[in-house]
A and B are shown apart, each in its own frame.
Chain A
Amino acid sequence: MKKILVAGFLAVSLTIPAAAFAAGTPDFSKVKVALVPGGAHPYFQPWIVGGKQAVTDFGIGATTFNETGEWDQTKQNAALDSLAAQGYTAFGIFGVSPTDINTTFENLKSKGFAVGSLASCPAGTVNKADFCLSTDTGQAAYLAAKAVIKQMRGKGNLVHLTGNAVDANTVRRIAGVKKAIAETKGKVKLLTTITDIDKDLQTAQKAVSDLLAAKGKKINGIVTTAYNPAVASTEGVGRTKLPIKVIAIDDDKKILNAIAKGIISGTVVQNPWGQGYVGSYVLAALNSKACTMKKSGLYVDSGSFLVTKANLKTYDAQRLAKSKSILKDFKTKYLTCA
């Protein structure tokens, strides 16, 4: 899985003209950027490619990718500390615990490091990192739910499949889906929200299997806001051939194939490559003292895109354009550079 994703994003990145966005870049050669997800997950693999591309385009000293956090905040903190000890001075972090990560950000910033919150912002309204470049998880879930409701012709029973119930991002996703359902004024009912099934694909497959066996005929639509449930529901609906509309998340090969074959209606893709690429640039700009944030802790949406059969072949270009646009916004609106 990792190899496929890395190869895919490598192919995408090679199509970008070298130094395409790099005009007028200050000297970042002494900056070492660490991109640190909460743990191993296919979603973050494009960060590696985005980070490497940023090294090529902007002359950053180095970027590294460290996934040894194992979805435990204590272990992620230890990984960050060991990277700091190795000389990394700028950190792009997906915090394991959105409620604890501000403490980690504060700790790193107090030591003079540049810190970006990537792919997830801290819970609450305060962000102690220099910036947050992330999918608006609530908005993405809302977008996905609206899309599936449209496919359901605005009525019927909807099921929401998602990740860890006690994760602040899941709380936002559940709220986003509920918001879209509320707008139908009772025409669409939330049959159930199944949480805690993003641990691995097997867990998700079992949950989807049980769901379809027990309530398959009552379900008109499924919206998934986590990676493994998305793959599992794609497989499940394809296998059972039930007339259920599915909007998945992310662009796993199985999901894209299912969209092409008309098994599922679409997927909401995020922009992890852009997070790694633009995030690395901004972190290097801040750590080298070439630039400062106009507003510390600023939230920037890294973009989420609805992909259906109609834009299956063009969405990646749309995503790349979004990355360019975010980079431009940072350079012209969000950063003050000497």
Chain B
Amino acid sequence: MKLTRKITSILSDQRVVLSIITLALFLFFGLKNKAFFSADFVLFPLLRDAATITVVGLAQLCALSIGHLNLAVGRMAAVSAMATGYSYQYLGFSLPLGVLVGLITGALLGALTGWIVVKSQVNAFIVTLAMDFALLGFVTFIYVTFTPAAAFTTKPAGMDFWRNTSLAQYCIAGVCGPKIFPMMIFPMIVALLLVGFMYGKTRLGRELLLTGSNLRAAKLSGIPVDRRVITAHIFSGTLAGLAGVMLGFTNGSFSAAIGSEFMLPSFLGPVLGGTLLTGGSVAVFGTMMGTLLTLVIRQGLSVQGIGLETLNIALGLVLLLALSLGQIQKMFTSIRSRGRT
């Protein structure tokens, strides 16, 4: 009886369920075709992509925490990456300085979005949708006007290092790191720790969640909700900017295509992880697990040689799974509470 209660208690945690499913699928794909365990061709690139998409997921999570959606997350990434690329190509900036330019650009775009939402009192869905269109036009104009090949192609020293290097190249006392971990996971880890710390341990994080959970109650509690809305969008924009720069590093140049595929994954990771679309509850670690799950499914099917249509059906099923996980979690919680009474 105790064991059953313990199992239901563990399974009521969405992150645990997600981790089990991800691990099970990982082993399933690997056992079905050993090529899936290839460090060079599958695991290293998978984790490198997961790092970028997790940061995109965190960008969306910040907006979701206050009950908003950021539909411009991809375009904010594109503009930030564009600013970074411009700084490398025309201003001769060093790699870290260019990254800083990208982050500041993302933060400013987020601040502008938040400010418009607060001042206009228009739903964030509409504001970010409008922002997405405006930024799309802006990005196209800049690339067509300022570049001969529609991209900033100057690579500062160190850019290839972030793309290609794994922990295997770092050894302590003869013991080297795993080959599957790319350097690109470090920006993701930093982002995860900072966002996790903010929502889990700080007053600011709690205020953001309360704003998302119940705006009226937050106001009555003395929380400066307008400022918190702007703050959440600043975090969202900054993280979107970071993801855009990371993708630019991975691809090898800064083009308008950056961020164009961010929208769906930005929701998939957080929602699968347990973040509520309605605000008030976030799952930072869950975002990473949700992202990993989708990438494991995509790459796992790809290694099996499955075609485009099946791939997309499988990813659609993942979305359904996201909704089902919430229900499964509720079911276990209900079983647990019944067991207690």
If A99-B149, A103-B252, A123-B153 touch, whether A68 touches B308 (CB-CB below 8 Å) is: yes
Contact B149 A102 (CB under 8 A): no
Contact B261 A75 (CB under 8 A): yes
**A45 CB to nearest B CB, Å:** 13
Contact A74 B140 (CB under 8 A): no
Stretch at the interface among B35-43, B65-73, B194-202: B35-43
A90-104 interface mask toward B, CB cutoff 8 Å, 1 = contact, 0 = none? Answer: 000000111110111
Stretch at the interface among A136-144, A162-170, A229-237: A162-170
Q: Which residues of B contact A165 (CB under 8 A)?
A: 140, 144, 150
**A146 CB to nearest B CB, Å:** 23
A102-136 interface mask toward B, CB cutoff 8 Å, 1 = contact, 0 = none? Answer: 11100100010000000000011000000000000
If A75-B261, A86-B305, A166-B257 touch, whether A103 touches B143 (CB-CB below 8 Å) is: no
Interface membership of B228, Cβ < 8 A: no
Contact B302 A68 (CB under 8 A): yes
**Contact check: which of A82, A100, A111, A167 meets B42 at CB < 8 Å?**
A82
Q: Which residues of A contact B42 (CB under 8 A)?
A: 81-82, 85
Docked Cα-Cα span, A124 to B149, in Å, equals: 7
Docked Cα-Cα span, A300 to B255, in Å, equals: 26
Q: Which residues of B contact A167 (CB under 8 A)?
A: 150
Interface membership of B326, Cβ < 8 A: no
Q: Which residues of B contact A85 (CB under 8 A)?
A: 35-36, 38, 41-42, 303
Q: Looking across the interface, which residue of chain B has its beta carbon closest to that of A172?
A: B149
Contact A123 B299 (CB under 8 A): no
Contact A100 B253 (CB under 8 A): yes
Q: Looking across the interface, which residue of chain A has its beta carbon closest to that of B256?
A: A166
Q: Which residues of B contact A99 (CB under 8 A)?
A: 149-151, 153, 252-253, 255
Q: Which residues of B contact A124 (CB under 8 A)?
A: 149, 153
**A6 CB to nearest B CB, Å:** 15
Q: Which residues of B contact A97 (CB under 8 A)?
A: 151, 251, 253, 255, 257
A70-82 interface mask toward B, CB cutoff 8 Å, 1 = contact, 0 = none? Answer: 1011110111011
Interface membership of B250, Cβ < 8 A: yes
Contact A67 B303 (CB under 8 A): no
Q: Which residues of A contact B49 (CB under 8 A)?
A: 74, 78
Contact A74 B35 (CB under 8 A): no
Interface membership of B222, Cβ < 8 A: no
Interface membership of B163, Cβ < 8 A: yes
- Main SS class of interface, B: helix
Q: Which range contains the number of A residues in contact with the other chain?
A: 35 or more
Interface membership of B214, Cβ < 8 A: no
If A70-B308, A74-B247, A166-B257 touch, whether A171 touches B150 (CB-CB below 8 Å) is: yes
Taking CB atoms and an 8 Å cut-off, the chain B residues in 285-341 that contact chain A are 298-299, 302-303, 305, 307-308, 311
Docked Cα-Cα span, A171 to B151, in Å, equals: 11
Q: Which residues of A contact B255 (CB under 8 A)?
A: 97, 99-100, 166
Taking CB atoms and an 8 Å cut-off, the chain A residues in 242-281 that contact chain B are none
B140-183 interface mask toward A, CB cutoff 8 Å, 1 = contact, 0 = none? Answer: 10011000111101000000000110000000000000000000
Contact A82 B308 (CB under 8 A): no
Contact A78 B140 (CB under 8 A): no
Interface size in chain B (residues, C-beta < 8 A): 40
Q: Which residues of B contact A84 (CB under 8 A)?
A: 38, 40-41
**Contact check: which of B144, B164, B299 meets A82 at CB < 8 Å?**
B299
If A74-B49, A86-B35, A103-B163 touch, whether A123 touches B41 (CB-CB below 8 Å) is: no
**A171 CB to nearest B CB, Å:** 6
Interface membership of A212, Cβ < 8 A: no
Contact A78 B45 (CB under 8 A): yes
Interface membership of B260, Cβ < 8 A: yes
B41-73 interface mask toward A, CB cutoff 8 Å, 1 = contact, 0 = none? Answer: 110011001001000000000000000000000
Interface membership of A8, Cβ < 8 A: no
Docked Cα-Cα span, A124 to B45, in Å, equals: 26
Taking CB atoms and an 8 Å cut-off, the chain A residues in 219-241 that contact chain B are none
Q: Which residues of A contact B35 (CB under 8 A)?
A: 82, 85-87
Interface membership of A312, Cβ < 8 A: no
**Contact check: which of B52, B151, B307 meets A123 at CB < 8 Å?**
B151
If A97-B251, A97-B257, A165-B140 touch, whether A40 touches B302 (CB-CB below 8 Å) is: no
**A328 CB to nearest B CB, Å:** 32
Q: Which residues of B contact A79 (CB under 8 A)?
A: 302
**Contact check: which of A67, A100, A102, A170 meets B308 at CB < 8 Å?**
A67
**B291 CB to nearest A CB, Å:** 13
Docked Cα-Cα span, A67 to B33, in Å, equals: 21
Q: Which residues of A contact B153 (CB under 8 A)?
A: 99, 123-124
Q: Which residues of B contact A104 (CB under 8 A)?
A: 252
Contact B149 A74 (CB under 8 A): no
Binding site for A on B (CB under 8 A): 33, 35-36, 38, 40-42, 45-46, 49, 52, 139-140, 143-144, 148-151, 153, 163-164, 247, 250-253, 255-257, 260-261, 298-299, 302-303, 305, 307-308, 311
13 further contact pairs, Cβ within 8 A, besides A103-B253, A166-B150: A74-B247, A78-B46, A81-B41, A81-B299, A82-B35, A82-B302, A82-B303, A97-B255, A97-B257, A99-B255, A100-B253, A166-B140, A166-B257
Binding site for B on A (CB under 8 A): 40, 64, 67-68, 70, 72-75, 77-79, 81-82, 84-87, 96-100, 102-104, 107, 111, 123-124, 165-168, 170-171
23 example contacts (A-B, Cβ-Cβ < 8 A) are as follows A68-B311, A72-B260, A73-B251, A74-B52, A74-B247, A78-B299, A79-B302, A81-B41, A82-B299, A85-B303, A86-B303, A86-B305, A96-B257, A97-B151, A97-B251, A97-B253, A99-B153, A99-B255, A100-B253, A107-B164, A166-B150, A168-B150, A168-B151
